[in-house]
Amino acid sequence: MADEHYDAIVIGTSQGGRLLPAELAKAGHKVALVERGQLGGVCVNRGCTPTKTMVASARLAYQARRAVEFGVRTGPVSVDLAAVRERKQAMVAGARQNFASRLTPDGPELIEGEAHFTGPKTVEIDLSDGGTRQVSAPAIVIDAGTRPRPLELAGAGDVTVLDSTSIMELDEVPEHLIVLGGGYIGLEFGQMFRRFGSEVTIIEMGSRLVQREDTEISSAVQELLINEGITLRLNARCLRVSGDAGSIIAHVDCEQDAPSIEGSHLLLAVGRQPNTDDLGLDAAGVSRDDRGYIVVNDQLETNVPGIWALGDCNGRGAFTHTAYNDFEIVASNLLEGTSRRISDRISAYALFIDPPLARRPHRNGGTGSRAPDPGRETAHETRGKSDRKRRDERIDEDCR
Ligand SMILES: Cc1cc2nc3c(=O)[nH]c(=O)nc-3n(C[C@H](O)[C@H](O)[C@H](O)COP(=O)(O)OP(=O)(O)OC[C@H]3O[C@@H](n4cnc5c(N)ncnc54)[C@H](O)[C@@H]3O)c2cc1C
């Protein structure tokens, strides 16, 4: 039995969840906003803000090394990773503070703790400072996000493995970074650390990088990374890892090149998984798919009326702007009586290597290649240009 009643409960304070409570409170509703970690979620603390801050440092190092080609003398370039990290931490702290400053007494009530359902309309919160609270509401919004998927490989428990969060806390540039996974996060960190000065090897079991893209886009991305000195091991499935700090060996199944790769550090970038296993969803009767994502309808409502799921945990997007758009859809439908739908969205996304690759898939679904269908919108737009001349133009533009 819940002790405290609200009009709405929102679980998670990231892109999907942070604005909705404020809008609901503004409309006169009593709202509880529950967060078990840091305000702002992944985007502010472990995703967009910190990575883009570090990408900017890496880009500066890259440009400085090439300065002489532009007639500018800079001297030897080296990277103080501890200073890069401190700058990143300051940016993140500022963003979090900005978020906190918007939580005013007339807005939602922030409850710091971990929420889990005890029924379709009831939630128990294990408070961060001890104790529990039982709360209930007719409307509950889940914005629980995702976390890095762990490595399920022989030897993984015996070596120090970095993920997208811990790699940003290093204070020395790795001598040789092995990146397991040639997807979006792996490429972003691979290029970043190459520019910081690491030797970098990216291991990808597929035959090409960024396999959701058309083949010529993959080729352009590969060429760009190789030109920066990154070693790519394609068609290489990692079977096990061994060794430890300073000397980690990835053993791969491959037809070409060496069957083992030795590096000083190993970054695991093999995907993310939804934070839905500890939410007590069964107690609420909320359905998940076979990968653990919460199943939602076109208006982001779950199979239980009155419970919505926003952001990455619904598996319908994996970006800040898609999570934000989820908020817009639900806020508009709840507060303005509209019937906005996720199927109306054109899910543009980006790969944040430098230069970045932006893509707008087919309007009527799919992220696939250019199937010849005259009825469809252009398959993709890309801002990524692999040729050196174009990059030089960009640097010229930036230096103006
Ligand atoms: C390395 C990296 C770089 C990225 N860069 C970009 C980028 O440049 N651009 C971009 O668009 N996207 C980027 N993303 C993706 C972006 O961070 C996510 O799409 C976005 O954060 C999704 O927000 P969300 O609303 O799903 O929730 P999340 O940001 O995942 O936050 C969920 C929140 O819910 C809280 N929570 C979970 N369970 C509970 C519970 N039981 N009780 C209470 N609280 C709970 C968590 O503590 C967390 O604060 C990046 C992601 C990563 C990992």
pLDDT per position as a tens digit, 143-170 = 999 999 887 888 878 888 999 999 999 9
Which residues face 288 on adjacent strands? 294
* Nearest residue (CA) to ligand 1, atom 21: 43
In degrees to the nearest 10, what's the CA dihedral of 113, 118, 120, 125? -10
- In order of their start, the domains of the chain are 4-46+89-148+273-344 (3.50.50.60), 156-270 (3.50.50.60)
What parts of the chain have a pLDDT lower than 70?
1-2, 16-17, 361-400
Integer Cα distance of 218 and 357 in angstroms: 11
Q: Mutation test of ligand 1: which of 10, 319, 324, 342 has the most ligand atoms closer than 8 Å to its C-beta?
A: 319
Which residues face 237 on adjacent strands? 253
pLDDT at 139: 97
For residue 185, give every residue at least 6 positions away whose Cβ sits within 8 Å of its Cβ, in sequence order, or none.
164, 269
- Residues 215-256 have pLDDT tens digits of 999 999 999 999 999 999 999 988 899 998 789 999 988 878
3-state DSSP call for residue 202? strand
Q: Mutation test of ligand 1: which of 9, 10, 11, 14 has the most ligand atoms closer than 8 Å to its C-beta?
A: 14
pLDDT at 344: 93
* Nearest residue (CA) to ligand 1, atom 15: 319
Query: Is the distance from CB of 25 to CB of 158 less than 8 angstroms?
Result: no
Contact 186 CB / ligand 1 (< 6 Å): no
pLDDT at 1: 58
pLDDT at 389: 43
* Nearest residue (CA) to ligand 1, atom 49: 41
Helix and strand element counts for the chain (H, E): 9, 19
Q: Which atom of ligand 1 is nearest to the CA of 317?
A: 19
Query: Is the distance from CB of 286 to CB of 294 less than 8 angstroms?
Result: yes
Q: Which atom of ligand 1 is nearest to the CA of 148?
A: 53
pLDDT at 19: 86
pLDDT at 362: 59
The model's pTM is 0.89
Q: Mutation test of ligand 1: which of 10, 48, 146 has the most ligand atoms closer than 8 Å to its C-beta?
A: 48
Integer Cα distance of 101 and 317 in angstroms: 28
pLDDT at 361: 67
